[in-house]
Structure 1
Amino acid sequence: MGKIIGLVQSKGGVGKTTTAVNLAAELVRRGHTVALLDADPAGHAAAIAEDGRLAFSVTSHLLEDGNGAAAWAKTVRGNTAEFVVIDAPGSMGAAYGATLAVADLVCVPSGSTVLDIRGAAETVRVIRQHRRETKAVGPDILVVPSRIDKRTSAGRDAVATLAALTEPVAPPITYRAAVADSLATGEAVPTDSPSAVEFAALTDAILTRLGVMA
């Protein structure tokens, strides 16, 4: 079974789908097989893939209620890709909880606003509660500063602010219009762009947390 990475945040608009798509793209560039599962009813990742320009598969994998959680999880664990990336829904429903149950690592994207950081803190709290209730070691947590505007004081302080959650913090992903533009055309960021360098650094951090050679 491959490594399962969940993108989870209780607040929307923090770059969850953007991170999932570009993480998957960077893993493929490194020669890994990757499956991106869109578990969010909004279906943003699946919509981005409709143009067929991504180098990996994106499959809608919804879980409407907890009754189907076991079958949902079995499908995730049975995927033959080296890495399975799950774009989880923002609401704390069945798929949100199921993602925490199957993931080896949960990435928690967060912007620098008060509401973004509150959402990240709530997500971290839920993951820790899940570990206590299930007496499980995992999932591991990596907080991802996302959509960071370094021109603002909050953006410049984002890494330090998120470190107060007392979980590992990844290198930040800067807010750039080029990132949104690439997704609008159904693609990951260009490989020669500053954003690609940042997503590569994020991928290095994720592989380190997973104990996988970069």
Structure 2
Amino acid sequence: MGKVIAFVSRKGGTGKTTTAINLATMLFNLGHKVSLVETDTNYTLNTLRQMELFKTGANDKSVFQIIASDDRNVINQIDTLKADKKLDFIIIDSAGKHTDENIKKLSMVCDMVVVPTSLTQNDLLVTFQTVEDLKPARVLNPNLKIVVLPNRVHSSTKKETIQALLEQLDAIVTESRVPQKNTFANFSTLLPEKEFLEVSKELISLL
């Protein structure tokens, strides 16, 4: 049965979409069967996928599926994908603003919730709140992994600095980090970014 990995934050702009699609493209490139569910009703990934298919002439049956959904229907969508039993991973790119109810429901059906965060004060405050909101789900879903992924980190930032900023979080903080580079901001729904391989391997190893 496919493992469910959701990218969640209490605010937009933390990098949920970029990290979700980078993980999905990398896992697919490594030979895994993947579907990505996009709950942000702007449907950025669906739009980009159609543009890339048109430009490249690629066959949409040769790439992983990107499914348009929303916070109210995503649980049913996950249940449907799980029932198929053909997928290795189900990636959820969640919307920027959640209700408490939707966060609870989503975390109950996930194997891992990833909270991407930059090291800015505003993002860190939101990350602490997001982790606190997710913690109660571990009582009913004891296998749930809550993971914080340092994102858009300047290349000169030391590992010790990141650890000091995130050490108070009651969550797993990844050793790897996503650097602040244009290659991650200008993402593709078809091609994996090779520098995301280390992050992908670490996330999967935590499951």
TM-score normalized with structure 1 length: 0.80
1:114 aligned onto 2:118: no
Aligned-partner residue type, residue 8 of structure 1: V
Please tell me whether residue 56 in structure 1 is matched to residue 64 in structure 2.
yes
Please give the alpha-carbon distance, in whole angstroms, between the structure 2 residues aligned to 1:124 and 1:164: 11
- Structure 2 counterpart of 1:166: 170
Choose from 94, 105, 116 the match for 1:88. Answer: 94
Runs of 5+ in structure 2 lacking a partner? none
Q: Distance in 2 between matches of 1:92 and 1:103?
A: 16
Relative distance call for 1:56 and 1:137 in structure 2 (3 A) is: same
Distance 1:176 1:95, change over 3 A: same
Please tell me the residue identity of whatever aligns with 2:27.
L
Distance 1:158 1:12, change over 3 A: farther
Amino acid at match of 1:90: G
Q: For residues 70 and 45 of structure 2, what CA distance do their matches in structure 1 show?
A: 12
Q: Is this contact kept in 2: 1:62–1:95, CA < 8 A?
A: no
Q: Is the Cα contact below 8 Å between 1:34 and 1:81 reproduced in 2?
A: yes
Residues matched between the structures, number = 196
Superposed CA RMSD: 2.5
- Work out whether 1:126 is the aligned partner of 2:133: yes
Residues 123 and 150 (structure 1 numbering): CA distance in 2 closer, same or farther, change over 3 Å?
A: same
String of CA shifts for 1:131-184, please: whole Å, max 9, x gaps.
34xx3304211110011123468x97234312321322111100111222344x
1 or 2 for the larger relative contact order (CA 8 Å, sep ≥6)? 2
Gaps of 5+ in 1: 191-195
Between the aligned residues of both structures, percent identity stands at: 26
